[in-house]
Amino acid sequence: MDDAGALRAELADQLLGDGVLHEPRWLKAFREVPRHEFLPRFYRRLPDGDWEAVTSEHPDWLGLVYSDRVWVTQFDGDDTVTGGTPTCSSSMPTIMAIMLEALDVRPGHRVLEVGTGTGYNAALLCHAVGSENVTTVDVDPNLSRRARERLHRNGFHPVCEAGDGALGHPGRAPFDRLLATCSVATVPPAWLEQTRPGGLVVTTLHRPIGAGLVRITSNGDGTGEGRVLAEDGRFMPLRAHARPPALAGTGTFDRRTTTLRFRTVADPASPFEFFAGTALPGVAAGRDMLAHPDGSWVRHHGSHVDQGGPRRLWDLAENAVAEWHDLGEPRRHDFGVSIAADGTFLTLGGRRWRL
């Protein structure tokens, strides 16, 4: 076995040991599909915050490719720059495995992937269900072209096209499964219209606070029901669903003491964070700061907070913590997802919140 093959086997065994791989088809795919063929160049962040380009000439390239890490491959939609806002990456293999397992594909299933990126995930799908059953779409024609070339070079021949992923791919519908390797603020109706009744859509909710992987069973008419998965997942948003960063708060403000820690509200590791995104719709988090498009903001200073704008966001956050406790401290996997004609909703018990 060559070095790449040994590293692939080691990564696959790690995913198996961590309990994120169960299906033999996915274990075989991770052991046999060469990730390095789809990552000839990527970027890693250095301790000083700068980005370093890593290519096959780098002595650590192959070992880094087969580590369980996400690697940025593009900034600001431009392949010639180093640094900026990441707009394409090769996802962390653990998250890829979780989503592929959640997709529950079977032989002969027709699959649409939204977000081709490097093409590596499309290759895993082709390995599992056959290239003839896989369609993959990316908004960036350059990414789509390079992914197609890499897929063909490695023996995979899915339908690989450039286009707006929010529209799906009506020419190849209906699909049995749809996997979006980008996140969305709401689930596009086209995805559920193009997924047969009983078929599955797996994607990630993109919210300013509290993202989450979701799996939805389609009704075939643009509606569906599902759940938020227990596992966390954070993906780059579908470009049409990207949100601008929160602006720094300005103007007059009130100051008061607080015992609620900022990370309780905004840290992805906090069990409250997902509920916080539900209770504080539209509120985005920055460094020790929350802000809303209506101009409301709060800056957290540890023992006290400054609040400005028309609403007192930290008061709302503290009220949400009390409500969360009253509801039994629900976690992300306690929430359902409902897609109806009038929008996408999170559900918990008899309550629902519009996304």
Residues with catalytic annotation? Answer: 91
Distance of CA 271 to the CA centre of its chain: 18
Kindly give the interhelix angle for 24-32 and 93-103, rounded to the nearest 10 degrees.
140
- Residues 207, 172 contacting (CB under 8 angstroms): no
Give the Cα separation of 352 and 288 in Å (integer): 29
- Residues 218, 192 contacting (CB under 8 angstroms): yes
Residue 254 structure tokens: 């009130």
Cis geometry, peptide bond prior to residue 141 (ω within 30 degrees of 0): no
The stretches of the chain forming alpha helices (DSSP H) are: 3-17, 24-32, 61-65, 93-103, 120-129, 141-153, 189-193, 262-266, 273-279, 313-326
